[in-house]
Amino acid sequence: MTATKIWYFIKFFSEERYAESFMRGRLYLNRLSYFRKLECSIDDDGRADTHEGVSMWWQPQDICIKLSVPGIGDIEITKDDLADPVSISYQYHEDLHIICLYSIYTNGYDTVDGKFHLDKEQSADFQSQILIDERCLKFGSYAVITPAVPFLAQVKEALQRRGQWFRGSLVEYYDDEMFHGEFASQDVAFKKQKQLAYQKEFRICLQTGTQGEDPIFLEVGDLNHISAKVNSSKLNDIFELKLDKTPAIASRDAP
């Protein structure tokens, strides 16, 4: 079966001027700590995540913590003292600069001569894979669509010129009710809890070697030739599967 294939990225914006800045190749990267410290509201759009950058996630029934406190003595904390999982984070990951993108990807399908050859059952499954969850539309009224391969090539070239550590990858969503353990340091920024899986996030992380809460701009060169700006409300119409006249063949619309 064909592995996961990313076709497009979508970046959401609250204001049109920010979308246009992105298309000119000026990418805005917040610190990872920004998302951790965002306050959730009644109309939460899913960006705030107090569990961003968790390196260790321990279920209460599977740990016993022993502390030696000067002047007090040894203290033992067991499952009877804990109501929720215990987590540990490190400053190193808090300081990473990241850009978050929604990804249109599929599992198990590839194109032949620019078309997907699908039967009826496959068409329904394919459409469900590229459907954008309505909750994502809260990220902003404007969206920029860009094909994944040329976009990543242009961004990678700009990042390599900086000479700093960087990585781009799909986010993996773990079951916070079952997972018990530690994430590899290089994977921490790409792990989020399962309730956010609808975001289908792709991240690009950059380590500048600095600390603080300041964002940065990454200049990658003009993207107008490979991107399109649309109203977010139109996205699922754009990515709706269109059937060809030839039976069992489906083609994909380009933005």
pTM: 0.85
* Sign of the torsion angle spanned by Cα atoms 136, 139, 141, 147: negative
Q: Which two tokens stand for residue 13?
A: 């914006």
Per-residue pLDDT tens digits for 202-253: 999 999 999 999 999 999 999 999 999 999 999 999 998 776 654 443 444 4
* Structural element, H or E, at residue 16: helix 16-23
Per-residue pLDDT tens digits for 152-172: 999 999 999 999 999 999 999
| pLDDT attached to residue 252 | 47
Cβ neighbours of residue 68 closer than 8 Å, sequence gap 6 or more? 74, 75
Q: How many helices (H) and strands (E) does the chain have?
A: 6, 18
Q: Length of the chain in residues, anyone? A: 255
Burial of 152 (0-12, 13-18, 19+ CB in 10 A): middle
